[in-house]
Amino acid sequence: MTSDTAWDAPLASVVEEAGIGVWRWDPATNTVEWDQRTEQLYGLEPGTFDGTMEAYLGMIHPDDVDDALELIQSVAATGGLYSIRHRIVWPDGAVRWIEGQGRIDVEPDGTPVRGLGIVYDVTERATLEHERDELRLREAAAVRASVESRDALDFLIRAADALAGSLNTSRVIERLAQVLTSGPADIAVVDVRLDEPIGWIATCTRNAANHAQAIHSGPASLMAGAAARLAVADTGADVADTADLLAVDAPELGKALAGVDAAAVDIVHEPLVSRGTTIGSLVAVRLVAPWSTEERSLLRAVARRAAVALNHALLYRDQSAVAAVFQRSMSPGDLPEIPGLDLGVLYRPATELVRLGGDLYDVFPSGRGSWTMAVGDVCGKGVHAAGHAGLTRAALRAAVQATSRADEALEVLNRTLLADSSRPMLTAVVASLGGCDSDGSRRVEVYCAGHPSPLVVRRDGLVEALEARGTMLGYADDAGFEGVATTLQPGDALVLFSDGVIDCRRGKDFFGVERLSEALSPVAGSSAEVMTSAVGAAMDAWTAEAPRDDIVLLAARVVDAA
């Protein structure tokens, strides 16, 4: 991918780390441009992709190529966003799963103008899903085979239910120990040592009433004593031996083992194997009756299911770690502490699962005791828009600090966006808050770029709109911005917000500026947090509909001089 602007660099590095490839399609020449990562994902040497659609289609798995082509053609006809998942065949014959998201822009007459998108490898996930489905089938078969044993069936269902819930590794390990001792085992030890940070051992015993009790669980390094010995116990004598040690470590376990007849103890080891790798082991101990053949096969079924659940949890852990890094690099983070100003923000992305969206906010110093506050709204939603929002925030900061004027900064940003057609348009409002005057007041100057006008909430409850005019950014090169200024007295607050607030829906009605003002007026003079909460509460009381658009509302109140 060619780099058009300086601020492509941070995005490129994040994209690179996440293993994401980027491509563009130019319909005029019908050429496709891939970055090196995309070539790598397709098993190609850098620079060897020839840019033709035919070459791309030729790499798709024969069973998937028709569906892929049909999808691409239909999107190319209408334009819009699409996501795709198919297998590919590498030059060396290896089959991989590729997932991608793309966008094709078309003229009103249907002529495609450009296409761009990202791709990444999902082979592990797809394989895992396949394994899980297989396991379900096998589990279903096992369920049928043991139908005469009501207890076994109940137990298996319970175990499957129990292991299906959490995606947290230590919770899965603990749950496995718990579910075994609520079923056939007297003691269960689950020992997972994939790598040091997640080495985790859980043990559980059951009491006379057949209830699982007393889970002892912790990082493997801290459980190195008795529990670790239990985990590798091979004979009843080993188990009985551990009793004294456990009496200190884990009294309930110790009690369960006290006076045990070592000869009667039966131990089953089941490895927890996933994708060909042993990631840990499950030890199920019977203190009196030995394990029957059926019970042993039941334990194997549970161990297989547990290994899959653990693998999902590990995968989730890794993916959420990547997502968290991405989120930190893209999201605005905590508001600064500013003497004399009290800040609060309401930030509710429309996507329910990820706390990222196309709305952005920022507060940063802009020299000589003054501060800049900004709220922006990048066209689009979700992670894709969030990437642009994060970069836009950084670019706006740089532009304000370089020009030291909000209107000039907006012009710089406008030119930057126009220079790169892959950047979505955006609306923004920027406020420059002057330093504190001797009477505690602060002067504020506001510039808008196609964005809803900010509100001033006077201490006495009066709410005024600051109607600054200006065009949307990235739309036309003759953008002009007309500022509006006012003075904030102590107790007054400035409220910037995105259109997600006023466009919040209830059937055909919109929340609107009037309701927003009505929500703010009674909390005039209160802390910024109280104000943002009051707006959130007013919106939720007004409508039960889930928000369709990202929502951000940023409030700054001038604090009374002490």
Partner 1 sequence: MPPDIGPELVVEYADRAGAADEAAAWAIVDDLLAGGLSTTLVFRDLLSAAQALVGQRWQRRDWTVQQEHAATAVTSRIIDRIAAQGPATVPHRGKVLVTVAEGEWHRVAAAMVSHALRLDGWEVEPVPPGTRPGQVASAIHESGPLAVLVSCALPALLPGARRLVVTAQDAGTPCLVGGRAFGSSDRRARRIGADGWASDIVTAAEVVAAHAGFAGPSERLEHASASDYSVVRGELGRLTAALQEVLPQGRDESGNGVLELALWLARSLLAALLCDDRSILDEDVGWVASRIGPAAVTELLAALHDGLPERAPIAREFVAGAA
DSSP 8-state class, residue 535: H
Q: Verify binding: residue 562, partner 1, rule CB under 8 A.
A: no
Q: Verify binding: residue 364, partner 1, rule CB under 8 A.
A: no
Provide, rounded to whole angstroms, the least separation between the CB of residue 519 and partner 1.
10
Q: Between 333 and 367, name the residue whose CB sits nearer to partner 1.
A: 333
Each residue of 503-514: b (16+ CB within 10 Å) or e?
ebeeeeeebebe
Q: Verify binding: residue 560, partner 1, rule CB under 8 A.
A: no
Q: Between 394 and 530, name the residue whose CB sits nearer to partner 1.
A: 530
Q: Between 152 and 159, name the residue whose CB sits nearer to partner 1.
A: 159
CB 377 within 8 A of CB 426: yes
Q: Verify binding: residue 517, partner 1, rule CB under 8 A.
A: no
Q: Which residue has the tokens 């689950």?
A: 190
Backbone angles phi, psi at 55, to 5 degrees: -60, -45
Q: Verify binding: residue 526, partner 1, rule CB under 8 A.
A: yes
How distant is the alpha carbon of residue 105 from its chain centre? 27
Q: Verify binding: residue 211, partner 1, rule CB under 8 A.
A: no
Q: Verify binding: residue 557, partner 1, rule CB under 8 A.
A: no
488 CB contacts (<8 Å, ≥6 apart)? Answer: 433, 441, 442, 443, 444, 456, 494, 558
CB 483 within 8 A of CB 406: yes
CA distance 265 to 117: 60
Q: Verify binding: residue 311, partner 1, rule CB under 8 A.
A: no
CA distance 73 to 76: 5
User: Which region among 95-103, 106-114, 488-496, 527-535 touches partner 1 (by CB under 8 A)?
Assistant: 527-535
Provide, rounded to whole angstroms, the least separation between the CB of residue 363 and partner 1.
19
CA distance 457 to 451: 18
Q: Verify binding: residue 542, partner 1, rule CB under 8 A.
A: yes
151 CB contacts (<8 Å, ≥6 apart)? Answer: none
Provide, rounded to whole angstroms, the least separation between the CB of residue 333 and partner 1.
16
Q: Verify binding: residue 533, partner 1, rule CB under 8 A.
A: yes
- Reported as type and span, the H/E element at residue 65 is helix 65-78
Q: Verify binding: residue 534, partner 1, rule CB under 8 A.
A: yes
User: Which region among 59-67, 157-165, 249-257, 466-474 touches partner 1 (by CB under 8 A)?
Assistant: 157-165
Provide, rounded to whole angstroms, the least separation between the CB of residue 10 and partner 1.
25
Among residues 24, 65, 294, 316, the one that binds partner 1 under rule CB under 8 A: 316
| Burial (Cβ within 10 Å: 0-12, 13-18, ≥19) of residue 26 | middle
CA distance 457 to 465: 9
Q: Which of residues 477-516 bind partner 1 (CB under 8 A)?
A: 506-509
Among residues 58, 80, 165, 480, the one that binds partner 1 under rule CB under 8 A: 165
Provide, rounded to whole angstroms, the least separation between the CB of residue 40 and partner 1.
30
Tokens at 288, concatenated: 């009196």
Provide, rounded to whole angstroms, the least separation between the CB of residue 536 and partner 1.
5
Q: Between 106 and 502, name the residue whose CB sits nearer to partner 1.
A: 502
Number of chain positions touching partner 1 (CB under 8 A): 40
Q: Verify binding: residue 147, partner 1, rule CB under 8 A.
A: no
Amino acid type, 360 = L
Provide, rounded to whole angstroms, the least separation between the CB of residue 320 and partner 1.
6
The number of CA neighbours under 13 Å toward the Cβ of 265 is 25
Provide, rounded to whole angstroms, the least separation between the CB of residue 397 and partner 1.
26
Provide, rounded to whole angstroms, the least separation between the CB of residue 418 and partner 1.
35
Among residues 178, 205, 427, 471, the one that binds partner 1 under rule CB under 8 A: 178
Tokens at 93, concatenated: 């014959």
Tokens at 92, concatenated: 């060396």
Q: Between 266 and 549, name the residue whose CB sits nearer to partner 1.
A: 549
Q: Verify binding: residue 167, partner 1, rule CB under 8 A.
A: yes
Q: Between 84 and 306, name the residue whose CB sits nearer to partner 1.
A: 306
Provide, rounded to whole angstroms, the least separation between the CB of residue 223 and partner 1.
16
- Give, rounded to a whole angstrom, the gap between the first and last alpha carbons of the chain: 56
User: Which region among 15-23, 101-109, 236-244, 525-533 touches partner 1 (by CB under 8 A)?
Assistant: 525-533
Q: How far is CA 332 from CA 134, 326, 357, 531, 544, in A?
A: 43, 12, 11, 20, 28
Considering only CA atoms, give the Rg of the chain: 30
Q: How far is CA 114 from CA 222, 279, 383, 415, 479, in A?
A: 57, 47, 21, 21, 25
Provide, rounded to whole angstroms, the least separation between the CB of residue 389 and partner 1.
18
Q: Verify binding: residue 353, partner 1, rule CB under 8 A.
A: yes
Residues making contact with partner 1 (CB under 8 A): 161-162, 164-168, 170-171, 174-175, 178, 215, 316, 320, 346, 348, 352-353, 355, 461, 506-509, 522-523, 526-527, 530, 533-534, 536-537, 540-542, 544-546
